[in-house]
Amino acid sequence: MFKKVLPLSSIIFLRFLGLFLVLPVLSVYALDLEGATPLLVGIIVGGYALTQAIFQIPFGTMSDKIGRKPTILFGLIIFLIGSLICGYSTDIYTLMLGRFLQGAGAIGSVATAMVSDLVEEESRGKAMAIMGGFIAMSFALAMGLGPVIAANFGISFIFFITAVLAVLSMILLFTKVPTPPKIRHIYHNDSKLRDILKDNNLLNMIVINTLQKGLMTMAFVLIPIILTRPEYGFNWEKAELWQVYLPAMIAGLIAMGPAAVFGEKKNIPKQIFLLSIVLFLASFLIMGFTTSSTVFVIGVVFFFIGFNMMEPLVQSMISKFAKVHQKGAALGISNSSAYFATFLGGTFAGLYLDISDRGTLATSISTVIILWLIWTALKLQNPIRHSHLYIKHDEVDLDKLTALENENIAEWYINETQNLVVIKYVSDAIKKEELQAKIVKA
């Protein structure tokens, strides 16, 4: 399993490293550009997410039809062009254009769907945790390196590094990433938006993913501006920002492993999500009202612990709830909504700092988080435990299998590459031997 996931996780690591390197410093450096205002800076920080939101569904759906690898390559090329434009920009509007193009290479849902293709569902939680770990490591590395690189070489240099990382990702894609198996599912219609949104489990995960990402961008607008701008009383130097980000990310990495294990193995993702939301609430209240640098850092630590506990479970749960023919589209819808919230979060935070104070902003954000906590407590259910039966295609009587379909069989499909029939069923309701006996050829 690790060999299948490592190359793709490396691509995700490189791409997110490029995006994250600028996040801890972009808001304060962008304020010095010609034409900059706090509102426009907020749009810059979250700008890539607007085009991510627009193109996630088309990219996810396209990958279901033409394949994951060609779709990922196309997205990386667009990302490369956007990074170069950002690197050469000298005013706020050119930088905005580059950020929009960076986001237009919307391959996040495609990469996650590809993991689902390559890894059996029993191991998918671990696979998603590995990918989440790589994303978190890129976060941690970026939080330490971003402020140092920007202070010594300028923020344009970071965007040129991002372009190089995009090229390395393309090389990895075609030299190390295995080709996903060809899947033939039992459904004759394309995945439809209404079918995905009518599924309560998928809808709840979309809400969780959306609010998590929106809060992330708010945090990255607020943290560097509050710490470095003199009107907020902390007066940190830009080059010192790694001192808040690095310990926060280390704490997040440490928390992520146990959260993924308990969420998956103990089948309690709901409880993990609720704890994460409580940490988000505490974090924004602290960052909004404290006057102590030490307490502010604790608030940032709370945020990153909550974010990293939640991140690997979100993608894993969506891929579990979606049927095989829906994975790309479901992840596309979820990530599209999440990225739209990312854009709105950055814009909202920038606008609020323009017209109000951080305490009022923290109160508004906390109100949303409390409503989110109530929604999750009332609406989200832990998933039903499913098992999978793998049988050689030529041993299965497909007529018997089709006739057997009931509420205890979630779905079945044919892995043509490995010549297997895969049946996903409720293990508490039907035994493996009993199921196998009913569908094998006489």
Write the DSSP assignment of 274-288 as a string of letters: HHHHHHHHHHHHHHH
Tokens read off for 336: 């599209």
pLDDT value for 273: 94
Is the separation of the CB atoms in 224 and 241 below 8 Å?
Answer: yes
- pTM of the predicted model, to two decimals? 0.75
Measured between its terminal Cα atoms, the distance across the chain in Å is: 34
Alpha-carbon dihedral sign for residues 358, 362, 364, 368: positive
- Confidence band for 186, pLDDT divided at 50, 70 and 90: low
Q: What is the pLDDT of residues 36-49, one digit of tens each?
A: 888 888 888 878 87
In this structure, the answer to whether residues 345 and 251 fall within a common structural domain is yes
In this structure, the answer to whether residues 205 and 338 fall within a common structural domain is yes
In this structure, the answer to whether residues 353 and 414 fall within a common structural domain is no
In this structure, the answer to whether residues 337 and 362 fall within a common structural domain is yes
In this structure, the answer to whether residues 416 and 274 fall within a common structural domain is no
> CA 46 → CA 102, 105, 107, 244, 264, distances in Å?
11, 15, 17, 21, 31
> Which of 56-65, 125-134, 283-292, 371-380 has the lowest average pLDDT?
125-134
Tokens read off for 314: 């979100």
In this structure, the answer to whether residues 364 and 402 fall within a common structural domain is no
Tell me the C-alpha distance between 163 and 15, whole Å: 9
- Confidence band for 188, pLDDT divided at 50, 70 and 90: very low
Shortest CA distance to 73 belongs to which of 3, 174, 165? 174
Domain termination site, one of 358, 379, 400? 379
Residue 276 pLDDT exceeds 90: yes
Tell me the C-alpha distance between 141 and 169, whole Å: 17
Residue 130 pLDDT exceeds 60: yes
Mean pLDDT of the chain: 83
- For the chain, the domain total comes to 2
> Which of 366-380, 399-413, 425-439 has the lowest average pLDDT?
399-413
CA atoms within 13 A on the CB side of 302: 19
Task: Report the pLDDT averaged over residues 174-201.
Answer: 69
> Which of 58-62, 254-258, 319-323 has the lowest average pLDDT?
319-323
In this structure, the answer to whether residues 277 and 406 fall within a common structural domain is no
Residue 125 pLDDT exceeds 70: no
pLDDT value for 197: 76
pLDDT value for 159: 93
